[in-house]
Amino acid sequence: MIERISLNLHIWRQESPSSQGTFEKYSMSDVSTKLSLLEALDKLNDDLIINGCRPINFDHDCREGICGSCGFLVNGQPHGPKDGTTICQLYLRQFRDNTTLKLEPWRAKAFPIVQDLVVDRSSFDRVIGSGGFCSNYYEKAPEANEIKVSQERSFSAFETATCIGCGACVASCRNASASLFVAAKLAHLGQLPQGQYLRLTRVKQMKEQMILEGFGSCSNNLDCEAACPKEISANWISWMNREKY
């Protein structure tokens, strides 16, 4: 296995939401394949700062594929070419020597660009705020074992609960639909007994908020399923559409 490679990076640079963006070219040589792509960008930023240039802005946090903070397009693919992987889990050993990588932000009306590879995904927060929660009238949290849940149902709900809200499904869809994201949140709560209260109201409110945010309709091309780093099935979109309110 090659231990060190060179990279040709074409990175989208845009200083502000109102400014004109463009791709800028950068070259990196003798880079360890043990680095993740984000670590390579850190190294590039160190060089830019030393030379008095503005560093490349990109989102990240846990760098363990859990939080959903990171995300951009690598050669047109959300999170890059490796299936079931977030951008922070993408290592340089996945690429050949002297490869060219085109890095650009999510492209969606509901995800306006903030700077460089960073987009504003607060639209997801507003969709969740419209109904993606459970309500009860207890003065304190009920005993965890008070409501029994079958193993089959809990496993099914957990499958959708793995959604990290990264936005890859939106970025991959030709209509910039958030259907897989919303379906995952609805199916997570809708399959559990604690989520039955306000179940139908939740569906109505979250679907309406999804439209208000400017997300498109489902294209039925299953690109969202292919891009999802948690490999959540697009069948949950059909489940969502069967929910009546």
Calculate helix-pair angle for 122-129, 179-190, nearest 10 degrees.
30
Residue closest to 16 by CA, chosen among 91, 118, 124, 102: 118
**Comma-separated ranges of CATH 3.10.20.30 domains in the chain:** 4-104
pLDDT of residue 147: 79
Whether domain 121-242 has CATH 1.10.10.10: the reply is no
Q: What is the pLDDT of residues 96-136, one digit of tens each?
A: 999 999 999 999 999 999 999 999 999 999 999 999 887 76
Q: Using CA atoms, how far apart are residues 153 and 193, in angstroms rounded to an integer? A: 10
Q: For the structural domain made of 4-104, what CATH number should be given?
A: 3.10.20.30
**Comma-separated ranges of CATH 1.10.1060.10 domains in the chain:** 121-242
pLDDT of residue 207: 95
Please name the amino acid found at residue 66. I
Query: Distances from the Cα of 221 to the Cαs of 111, 130, 159, 166, 217, in angstroms?
Result: 21, 27, 21, 19, 11
Residue closest to 132 by CA, chosen among 173, 166, 161, 170: 161
Structure token pair of residue 114: 């903030």
Residue 131 neighbours by CB distance under 10 Å: 22
Q: Using CA atoms, how far apart are residues 180 and 184, in angstroms rounded to an integer? A: 6
Q: Mapping DSSP to helix (H, G, I), strand (E, B) and coil, where does residue 62 land?
A: coil
Residue closest to 226 by CA, chosen among 56, 26, 107, 77: 77
pLDDT of residue 144: 66
Q: Using CA atoms, how far apart are residues 40 and 234, in angstroms rounded to an integer? A: 33
pLDDT of residue 138: 56
Residue ranges of the chain whose pLDDT lies below 70? 1, 136-142, 144
pLDDT of residue 139: 63
Q: Using CA atoms, how far apart are residues 19 and 178, in angstroms rounded to an integer? A: 27
Burial 65-82 (b: 16+ CB within 10 A, else e): bebbbbbbbbeebbbbee
- 88 contacts 63 by C-beta, under 8 angstroms: yes
Q: Using CA atoms, how far apart are residues 193 and 167, in angstroms rounded to an integer? A: 28
Residue 90 neighbours by CB distance under 10 Å: 22
Q: Using CA atoms, how far apart are residues 63 and 58, in angstroms rounded to an integer? A: 12
Q: Using CA atoms, how far apart are residues 170 and 177, in angstroms rounded to an integer? A: 5
Structure token pair of residue 181: 């994201």
pLDDT of residue 141: 66
Q: Using CA atoms, how far apart are residues 167 and 78, in angstroms rounded to an integer? A: 9
